[in-house]
Amino acid sequence: MTKTITTLSGSIGAGLSCACPRCGQGKLFQGFLTPRPRCEVCGLDYGFADSGDGPAVFIMFLVGFIVVGAALVTEILYRPPYWVHAALWLPLILIVTLGPLRPMKGLMIALQYHHQAAESRFDGTDRP
């Protein structure tokens, strides 16, 4: 019998480590961002997992704030040629967007599972 994560901090930890939101042991992804069909440890069906554009939106807001702010400060203080901006910010954008995308998607799926978030249904089946 595998253990079940019941705490919010446990769910956050499992999500950030891209592990199964129920047992915290099975892998969540089979590619870079594609969820597996189910957990190979506890058998949880990942069919519920639909984080949509959530991870990308959070990362775009955060990275946009950081990179645009850093580019503005660099331009105001040093006035470098444009190729320096391209050399600095293009690799940084790739690193700070693609790096946290997978853990952020894992986190959102784990929180979706923890809070049992799902689309609303109008046929009365979601009510007790």
Which positions lie near Zn ion, rule CB under 5 A? 20, 22-23, 26, 39, 41-42, 44
Taking the complex as a whole, the smallest distance from the CB of residue 23 to Zn ion amounts, in Å, to 3
Taking the complex as a whole, the smallest distance from the CB of residue 118 to Zn ion amounts, in Å, to 19
- Closer residue to Zn ion, CB minimum distance, 27 or 102: 27
Are 41 and 25 contacting, i.e. CB atoms less than 8 angstroms apart?
yes
- Closer residue to Zn ion, CB minimum distance, 4 or 65: 4
- Closer residue to Zn ion, CB minimum distance, 24 or 59: 24
Taking the complex as a whole, the smallest distance from the CB of residue 14 to Zn ion amounts, in Å, to 9
Ramachandran region, residue 20 (left: φ > 0; alpha: ψ -120 to 50; beta: rest): beta
Taking the complex as a whole, the smallest distance from the CB of residue 2 to Zn ion amounts, in Å, to 7
98-104 long-range contacts, CB within 8 A, separation 24+: 100/59, 101/33, 101/55, 101/56, 101/59, 102/18, 102/29, 102/32, 102/33, 103/15, 103/16, 103/17, 103/18, 104/55, 104/58, 104/59
- Closer residue to Zn ion, CB minimum distance, 11 or 59: 11
Q: Distance between CA 63 and CA 99 in Å, rounded?
A: 11
